[in-house]
Amino acid sequence: MNIAFYSEMVDKINTRLDNLNAYLQVTMLYETEDGDLAQLSNSGAGASQITAGKDAVLYPTSYTADIVVPAYKKFVAFTKVNGVSDSKQAALLSQLNTGDYLNQVLDGNTKTIKLNVPSSFSGKTLELTYSALDYSGYTSTRKFYIYVK
């Protein structure tokens, strides 16, 4: 091996590491009723399903499992109840965002959020927003959709 080979390898690695913030792409996993892990849907048309009145576990993470670019702070909140007038949104969202880890700034090492959606939301599609801030000040935000059955 010659120096040119090593130099080329270092250049390739530096190119990948040049914009590490791009690796902070948030995703939200959840535990299905079968006990499997699945990604929450990014589309309201194909929303992930949870059962009202039953505990659900959410896992706010990134596509690299917070390893390559760990999150410094996280924020998870319900931001919309689809099919409900704007005048009723605030009251419904305050009812939904009452969990221990919802609608508040969380430490970056928060791994799970327990969720129990009241049965009054059965038949509704909920919008959940997840934002993460890394140690360099870069943020990544994504919306997810949950259908309550």
DSSP state of 16: H
Tell me phi and psi for residue 92, to 5 degrees: -70, -40
pTM reported for the whole predicted model: 0.82
pLDDT tens-digit profile, the chain (149 residues): 678 887 788 777 767 666 665 667 899 999 988 889 999 999 988 999 999 989 899 999 998 888 878 899 999 999 999 988 888 899 999 999 987 899 999 999 999 999 989 999 999 999 999 999 988 888 999 999 999 99
Token reading at 106: 């969380």
Quick one: pLDDT at residue 1? Answer: 60
Helix or strand or coil: residue 39?
Answer: strand
In the numeric block, the tokens 């430490």 are attached to 107
What are the distances in angstroms from CA 146 to CA 39, 68, 72, 103, 106?
11, 28, 26, 17, 21
Query: Is-contact 6 121, C-beta < 8 A?
Result: no
Long-range contacts at 13-22 (CB < 8 A, ≥ 24 apart): 20/68, 20/69, 20/136, 21/69, 21/134, 21/136, 21/138
Quick one: pLDDT at residue 16? Answer: 65
Quick one: pLDDT at residue 99? Answer: 77
Quick one: pLDDT at residue 25? Answer: 87
